[in-house]
Structure formats: C-alpha cells, structure tokens
Amino acid sequence: MSKIWIAGAAVAVALATGLAQAQSPPATELFREADLALGERLLKENRCAECHARKVGGDGSAIYRPKGRINSASLLRGMVENCNTELNLSLFPEEVTAIAAVLNRDHYRFP
C-alpha cells in the first residue's frame, strides 16, 4: 500500500468519526426520559457485571471506556444494544436506553 493511500484512509476515518460524533445527540437529550431504576434492575438481573468480569477480569470495570471505542452517548447506547443482540436478551428499546443511561451516569458521564 502506498503511504498516500494510508494517509487518505486515515483522514477519511477521522472525518467520518468526527461527523458521527457531531450528529450524536447529547446524553442529556438521549437519556432524558430514561428510567434509571429500571436500568439498575436490568443490569443486576442480566448479570452484566459478571459477564464483563469474565471478559476483562477483575471486577469487570476495565470494560468501560475502552480506548477510542465509546466516545459518545449514542455509541454507548449502541454497545448496550450490541450486548442485547449478541446475548439474545430480548430487551425493548427503552430498556436498552435505561441501561445505557445508568452506565453513563456511573461510568461515562457524557454531557
């Protein structure tokens, strides 16, 4: 691969990432009507912390804020939806949002 192609690809990725972030609603808007009590209950019922501990070791908290992966409230909600899909949890959209809102409050703190 040529250095020009690699540099061009890097610029394209940077621009796409920036554009995606710019179009993401702020957490205050995305999680405005989230039921935090429901999110807390679902995190416990689905044993999310136990699964994360198995994946990354320790208490599982190392899974939060992986370098460069989750840098907006929308991406956080998308990762919760990914867990919902991969683990076949059958959560409703408002339940996914509730879980993401709790994670944002406790770990991410997106504005």
pLDDT digits (tens, 9 = 90+) for 28-57: 899 999 999 999 999 999 999 999 899 888
Q: What is the pTM of this model?
A: 0.75
Say which residue the tokens 């394209």 belong to.
Answer: 12
Residue 12 has pLDDT above 50, yes or no: no
Q: Provide the CA 9 distance to its chain's centre, in angstroms.
A: 25
Residue 102 has pLDDT above 70, yes or no: yes
How many angstroms separate the CA atoms of 43 and 95, rounded? 10
Say which residue the tokens 């990725």 belong to.
Answer: 13
For the record, the structure tokens of 106 come out as: 């406790």
Question: What band does 65 get if pLDDT is binned at 50, 70 and 90?
Answer: low
Question: Do residues 110 and 72 lie in contact, with contact meaning Cβ atoms separated by under 8 Å?
Answer: yes
Q: Number of helices (H) and strands (E), helices first, in the chain?
A: 6, 0
How many angstroms separate the CA atoms of 3 and 11, rounded? 12
